[in-house]
Structure 1
């Protein structure tokens, strides 16, 4: 395993938010992190990136405690895509993606052909090469999210962490972003709200509830009606189509508005 946590804990305001999580992320696979609001998903992702320091336990990268890794070395290996990022500065698409090259450049170093190659390659991977010089503010929500992923790819990481990258996007852009993430063939950890999208696009799923890991494994074994009812407090039925794709259907015990 390249990225792992062992008995990780972190809290704030006198409350334990991530409580003893042990988790292994398989190389070049997509791990979906799901759970109700307040279950600790975003906090765990930030611990994986060392944006927060664990209170106890270990986050490891290639069996090395990330607390011992120099910041620039960690940034060359691991990239983080936030839910939303915005700016009032008049930036172009390439300006944003170039920020991903920061870990690879010495202080006051001039922009190199290698840097430009990495930016161009990142934009090509997300299908936005033609938007290279377009202003950031003129992009759609889905295009902005692709640019954020391109910025992360310009770091040339082996591990990619994404915090609800489909939040506030319409269904077409949600499907497009998740299909893109799956095509990257990186080690990915992605927090998601939609259980059907998690089941469709993730190789494995980890379920958090009240800061604790309650299940991890293949979607079919993790996303059962009993576990969904226990963690999310909703009744569901699992249906399969002719292609074998599972669909989680929510069961209402009364008509809306009654």
Structure 2
């Protein structure tokens, strides 16, 4: 067990948004978080990387309370990729990735050969080494998300948290990004909307509903018609898909001759 929550709670505006969640990420594997909008996925991710403090309970990293860890030490272990960000600042690809070296550098320290090697290695891992000097604003959405992941990798983390990394991407880039994440071999926690992508790429799945964890386990055990009906309010048929993973087909009620 590396990153875990133990009866974690957090709320805002008089409402409990994360309500008593206990969950752990399998080392070197992908834990997917799914649930309807407002179920607490993004809030839980921010508690995991200490962008917010828990109201009660504890988040641990290798058994240590992350609230007791120095921020620089935490940032050397754990990286967070938010939903796609934009900027009006004129940056190059390498400028963005270099931000990931901040936890490893003292204030006012000179840029080192080790820093540059980390940036180059991160770009190589995401397949963008040839874009090193390309202006950020000229990249496609999928390329920008790869650069965000490269920035996180430049931190040299062992745990990687990603908040809906496929949001607003076409299906080709969704598959490409999730395939990249799977090949990294890191402990990953990723929030997703698409249930079929979660089934295809995640080793374990945690299902959130109204701030609570209602199920966790392998995709085969978690993604059942009953649970999907309960949490998402839709009817589905499930069959075996690629590699034995579950493939979810949504039941759409249409009149004869109408297109769904």
Smaller-chain TM-score bracket: over 0.9
Could you say which residue in structure 2 is the equivalent of 1:217?
A: 217
Kindly provide the CA deviation profile for residues 181-214 of structure 1, in whole angstroms up to 9, marking residues without a partner as x: 0000000000000000000000000000000000
Q: Do 2:223 and 2:246's aligned partners in 1 also have CA atoms closer than 8 Å?
A: no
Unaligned runs of 5+ in 2: none
Q: CA deviation at 1:241?
A: 4.2
1:190-229 matches, within 5 Å, as: 190-229=190-229
Kindly provide the CA deviation profile for residues 112-150 of structure 1, in whole angstroms up to 9, marking residues without a partner as x: 000000000000000000000000000000000000000
Could you say which residue in structure 2 is the equivalent of 1:77?
A: 77
Q: CA deviation at 1:246?
A: 2.2
Separation (CA, whole Å) in 1 of partners of 2:16 and 2:94: 40
Separation (CA, whole Å) in 1 of partners of 2:97 and 2:78: 16
Q: Do 2:78 and 2:161's aligned partners in 1 also have CA atoms closer than 8 Å?
A: yes
Q: Do 2:36 and 2:209's aligned partners in 1 also have CA atoms closer than 8 Å?
A: yes
1:12–1:241 CA distance, 2 compared to 1 (3 A): closer
RMSD: 1.2
TM-score, normalised to structure 2's length?
0.97
Matched, 1:161 2:161: yes
Q: CA deviation at 1:252?
A: 1.4
Greater mean deviation of Cα atoms: 237-246 or 46-55: 237-246
Separation (CA, whole Å) in 1 of partners of 2:86 and 2:241: 40
1:133–1:242 CA distance, 2 compared to 1 (3 A): closer
1:103-252 matches, within 5 Å, as: 103-241=103-241, 243-252=243-252
TM-score, normalised to structure 1's length?
0.98
1:20-35 matches, within 5 Å, as: 20-35=20-35
1:138–1:218 CA distance, 2 compared to 1 (3 A): same
Q: Do 2:220 and 2:245's aligned partners in 1 also have CA atoms closer than 8 Å?
A: no
Kindly provide the CA deviation profile for residues 28-55 of structure 1, in whole angstroms up to 9, marking residues without a partner as x: 0000000000000000000000000000
SS in 2 for 1:145: helix
1:29-68 matches, within 5 Å, as: 29-68=29-68
Kindly provide the CA deviation profile for residues 207-257 of structure 1, in whole angstroms up to 9, marking residues without a partner as x: 000000001000000000000000000000001248534210000133468
Unaligned runs of 5+ in 1: none
Matched, 1:6 2:9: no
Kindly provide the CA deviation profile for residues 82-115 of structure 1, in whole angstroms up to 9, marking residues without a partner as x: 0111111000000000000000000000000000
SS in 1 for 2:244: coil
1:149–1:243 CA distance, 2 compared to 1 (3 A): closer
